Amino acid sequence: MAKLIVANFTISLDGYAAGPGQRMDAPFGDGADALHDWMVGTRAFRESHGMEGGEEGPDNDRVLQAAGDFGATIMGRNMFGPQRGPWDDHEWQGWWGDNPPFHNDVFVMTHHPRPTLKLAGGTSFHFVDGTAEEVLARAVAAAGGKDVQLSGGAGVIRQFLRARLVDELRIAVAPMFIGGGERLFDGLGDAMQGYRVVEQVSTKAATHLLITR
């Protein structure tokens, strides 16, 4: 049975997944520039972006694992781009460039649907308005038996956690403080009951937690 997996979602030591003031020139907000340094320094990341060098080891292993065999992806609108409200620009293709890293059907949750955007490498962005259960059902159907990746942001992950739909969270904790913005685990009440940390690996760049239900 297909699982819904949060893969390599990074938070700070004080629990923030993004700082305040997210915008075009600061996708992760103020104070969060170094949040993903653990990933950017790996060999797998650098090779995938046409760069040389990079570290191997546990951080690199997590990047390779997250590039695994997902059949579909779910994300919030802010993970696609900074626009809010009705779409005023259908030409801009999001944060991810001409050849996004997903290579599958990506379901962007928004109250303002728009036509599907098909890009190179097999990535198609579908802009959908629905509940967590409805969007997950569409993603599972598109995944063809493979697992579904829930890529974020924090608000969308919380929505799926409250609905008790997330099977596995692979969280990276970066050794830094942001001090404000959006926390991953805020306001969840008892939604995390039944989850447990089954693996913890620390490097100089991050602490990796595997949380399962």
Angle of CA points 41, 36, 146, to nearest 5°: 95
pLDDT reported for residue 85: 87
- DSSP character for 23? B
Please list the ranges in the chain whose pLDDT falls under 50.
none
Torsion of CA 178, 180, 184, 187, to 10 degrees: 150
pLDDT reported for residue 89: 78
Class of 4-83+98-212 per CATH?
A: alpha beta
pTM summary value: 0.93
pLDDT reported for residue 61: 92
Query: What separation in angstroms does the CA of 206 have from each of 8, 11, 133, 169, 179?
Result: 11, 10, 32, 15, 18
- DSSP character for 122? G
Residue ranges of the domains in the chain?
A: 4-83+98-212
Question: Of all residues in the chain, what percent carry a pLDDT higher than 90?
Answer: 72
Tens of pLDDT, residues 29-56: 899 999 999 999 999 888 887 888 999 9
